[in-house]
């Protein structure tokens, strides 16, 4: 297998286990004959890949300009209030992780957030409560 297989392997691992552990990185390095550091480098380059274990659902709030102008800070505050965690943290039961991310391509619906692969736009604090309640 070639080095250009690496990103696919990492994505598969993330899809399967929710994050990419050091053990998994070491295995991929072994298979592709790469330094572990190169696998770690690719994994940490992408904000949608994670080397830390994540919650069952990952909430990503856009911190880019269009959402910022549409009061994106309100979204982050609402989530912090609802879940009691700050960006970069996971709820104690492992239900949600909360991350800030760059533009998610939903500027027309700003302020917006992603929960797992789903986009939720035109957010208000009330809507956020409802959306979060619909996840197990």
Partner 1 sequence: MGDVNVVIDGEKVSGPEGNTILEAANEAGINIPTLCHRPDLTPDGNCRVCVVEVEGAPRLVASCHTPISEGMVIQTRSPKVLAARRTVVELLLAGHTGPCVTDECAKDCELHYLAAELEVGPPRFQVKKRRSYPVETLSPYVQRDMGRCILCRRCVRACAEIAKKNVFSMAYRGFRSKVVVDCDVPLDKEACRDCGICIDYCPTSALTKPKAN
Query: Applying CB under 8 A, which of residues 7, 27, 40, 109 lies at the interface with partner 1?
Result: 40
What are the backbone angles phi and psi of residue 84, rounded to the nearest 5°? Answer: 75, 25
- Site of tokens 């692969």: 117
Site string for partner 1, 41-70 (x = CB under 8 A): x--xx-----x-------------------
User: Closest distance between partner 1 and the C-beta of residue 34, in Å?
Assistant: 8
Which stretch, 3-11, 34-42, 76-84, 112-120, contacts partner 1 (CB under 8 A)? 34-42
User: Closest distance between partner 1 and the C-beta of residue 26, in Å?
Assistant: 9
Beta carbons within 8 Å of 98's beta carbon, 6+ residues apart: 58, 59, 61, 79, 80, 83, 85, 86, 87, 88, 89, 90
Instruction: Kindly write down the DSSP assignment for every residue of 73-92, as one continuous string.
Output: HHHHHHHHHHHS--TTEE-T
Binding residues for partner 1, rule: CB under 8 A, are: 22, 25, 35-38, 40-41, 44-45, 51
């Amino acid at each position: 297998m070639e080095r250009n297989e690496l990103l696919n392997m990492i994505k598969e691992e993330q899809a399967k286990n929710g994050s990419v552990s050091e053990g998994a990185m070491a295995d991929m390095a072994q298979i592709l004959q790469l330094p572990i550091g190169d696998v770690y480098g690719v994994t940490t380059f992408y904000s949608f890949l994670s080397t830390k274990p994540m919650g069952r659902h990952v909430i990503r709030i856009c911190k880019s300009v269009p959402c910022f102008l549409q009061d994106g800070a309100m979204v982050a505050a609402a989530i912090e209030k609802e879940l009691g965690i700050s960006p970069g943290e996971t709820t104690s039961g492992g239900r949600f992780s909360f991350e800030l991310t760059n533009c998610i391509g939903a500027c027309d619906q700003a302020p917006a957030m992603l929960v797992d692969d789903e986009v939720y736009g035109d957010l208000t604090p009330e809507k956020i409560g409802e959306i979060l309640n619909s996840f197990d």
